[in-house]
């Protein structure tokens, strides 16, 4: 099912006082970022997001997620969800608790895929512990067979869950309860322990440990490769530098093979496809465009995912023009565009010993490797 048919509706209108900290838990810092920001980031690149907030928390929300649409919620969770659903314009919606910041992307995709054949789908974990009933002593036992621990996001056809909420009296524990009351079938998909809900101070400590561990380990490497043929012209653009030459490079934009390759490497490290998906060559607005725009977008997208570019290594492959005299300027230009120190940027050149298209002087190729590190 296409991604653009989904909206993530993140419910963040509660007070969250049991978790302590003096502010609602969704605005507390978790490994250097607000819980709400981490919850929103889990859906970044997958779909558009709407956040439902308490009316008194608008300033906090704007500080935590400045580029996300905010909707004011109601007096109960159900009322807040209903308010958010009124703003959803896509055919399907994933309703997410703001207090579950660690939702893995593959779990989100499982919910999305299940919705291709059903009205509702939600992740859950099978209960594996023995179940007791009692207060200070065990008074009875319960069979755990067929019991599940509910998680979010809980996904639905938007019109179905909107109607279910409109018909539901009072509050509900979650949106599956509302859906079931309306007669909707909800499919269970595998959940994930990483999608834990933060409720108590102990939960915060556990989540802090998980995110700090993830940040230490989250290093991404992306590779890029691109080719442009020669055509009429008196210069080529290479890594943002104008290099005099008796021919130019052909392309829909300014045909800067170096910037295109590095851009693709960043998209690759993020799992975001290639430059053509973000800037289609069929779109006339990019005709003759400065390729700096493409690279800056890739760097910005990485920053939105809380990744910084650690280093770049690019190799230009051609017989001519000579790259060596311009390599320092290329490194400086790349460092400027990407916000890096020059020492983290490498630009090299090689020939193919007159073999192949590059050896015959038909064009220029480039290959690049980029390392991203979680900020």
Q: How many CA atoms lie within 13 A of 319 on its CB side?
A: 15
Give the angle 359-364-365 at the CA atoms, nearest 5°.
100
**β-pairing verdict for 219-231 and 363-374:** antiparallel
Amino acid 213: pLDDT: 65
Q: What is the DSSP letter of 115?
A: T
State the Cα torsion 102-106-107-108 to the nearest 10°: 90
Among the residue ranges 72-86, 245-259, 276-290, the one predicted with the least confidence is 276-290
Residue with tokens 């599940």: 148
Amino acid 16: pLDDT: 64
Neighbours of 152 (CB within 10 A): 27
Amino acid 178: pLDDT: 96
For residues 279 and 298, the answer to whether their CB atoms sit within 8 Å is no
Cα–Cα distance, 56 to 348 (Å, whole number): 55
| Residues ≥6 apart with Cβ < 8 Å to 49 | 7, 8, 9, 10, 40, 43, 68, 69
Cα–Cα distance, 54 to 21 (Å, whole number): 18
What value does the mean pLDDT take over residues 223-229?
Answer: 96
Cα–Cα distance, 159 to 153 (Å, whole number): 17
Residue 318 has pLDDT above 80, yes or no: yes
Quickly state the pLDDT bin for 322 (edges 50, 70, 90): very high
Q: Is the pTM of this model over 0.85?
A: no
For 93, 235, 238, 324, 359, the CA distances from 243, given in Å and listed in that order, are 50, 5, 7, 11, 19
Amino acid 21: pLDDT: 63
Cα–Cα distance, 314 to 370 (Å, whole number): 9
Q: Dihedrals φ, ψ of 302, to 5°?
A: -60, -40
Amino acid 226: pLDDT: 95
Amino acid 15: pLDDT: 77
For residue range 138-177, what is the model confidence (pLDDT) as tens digits?
999 999 999 999 999 999 999 999 999 999 988 898 999 9
Angle, to 10 degrees, between the axis of helix 327-338 and the axis of helix 292-304?
40
What value does the mean pLDDT take over residues 105-130?
Answer: 95
Residue 18 has pLDDT above 70, yes or no: no
For 107, 152, 188, 324, the CA distances from 149, given in Å and listed in that order, are 15, 10, 11, 61
Neighbours of 348 (CB within 10 A): 13
DSSP readout, 73-84?
--SSHHHHHHHH
Q: 148: closest CA among 129, 132, 126, 131?
A: 126
H helical segments located in the chain: 35-41, 58-64, 77-85, 105-114, 158-167, 175-181, 201-217, 257-270, 275-278, 292-304, 327-338, 356-359
Cα–Cα distance, 352 to 317 (Å, whole number): 7
**Counting every residue, how long is the chain?**
375
Q: Dihedrals φ, ψ of 118, to 5°?
A: -150, 165
């Amino acid at each position: 099912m296409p991604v653009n048919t989904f909206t993530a509706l993140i419910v963040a209108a509660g007070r969250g006082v049991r978790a302590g900290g003096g502010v609602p838990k969704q605005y507390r810092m978790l490994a250097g970022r607000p819980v709400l920001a981490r919850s929103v980031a889990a859906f970044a690149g997958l779909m558009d997001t709407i956040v439902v907030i308490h009316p008194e928390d608008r300033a906090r929300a704007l500080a935590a997620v400045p580029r996300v649409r905010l909707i004011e919620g109601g007096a109960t969770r159900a009322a807040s969800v209903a308010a958010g659903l009124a703003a959803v314009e896509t055919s399907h919606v994933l309703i997410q608790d703001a207090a579950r910041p660690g939702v893995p992307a593959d779990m989100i995709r499982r919910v999305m895929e299940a919705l291709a054949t059903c009205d509702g789908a939600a992740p859950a974990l099978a209960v594996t512990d023995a179940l007791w009933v009692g207060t200070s002593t065990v008074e009875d036992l319960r069979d755990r067979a067929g019991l599940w621990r509910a998680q979010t996001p809980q996904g639905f056809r938007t019109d179905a869950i909107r109607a279910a909420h409109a018909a539901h009296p009072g509050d509900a524990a979650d949106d599956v309860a509302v859906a079931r009351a309306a007669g909707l079938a909800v499919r269970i998909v595998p959940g994930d322990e990483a999608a834990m809900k933060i409720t108590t101070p102990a939960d915060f400590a556990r989540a802090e440990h998980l995110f700090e561990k993830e940040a230490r380990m989250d290093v991404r490497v992306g590779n890029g490769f691109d080719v442009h043929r020669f055509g009429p012209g008196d210069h080529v653009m290479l890594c943002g530098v104008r290099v005099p030459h008796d021919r130019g490079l052909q392309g829909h934009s300014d045909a800067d093979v170096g910037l295109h390759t590095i851009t693709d490497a960043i998209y690759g490290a993020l799992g975001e496809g290639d430059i053509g998906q973000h800037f289609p060559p069929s779109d006339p607005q990019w005709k003759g465009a400065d390729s700096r725009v493409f690279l800056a977008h890739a760097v910005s997208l990485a920053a939105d995912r809380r990744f910084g570019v650690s280093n770049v290594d690019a190799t230009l492959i051609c017989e001519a023009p000579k790259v060596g005299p311009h390599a320092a300027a290329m490194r400086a230009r790349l460092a400027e565009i990407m916000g890096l120190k020059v020492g983290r940027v490498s630009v090299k050149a090689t020939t193919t010993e007159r073999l192949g298209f590059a050896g015959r002087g038909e064009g220029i190729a480039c290959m690049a490797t980029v390392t991203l590190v979680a900020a």
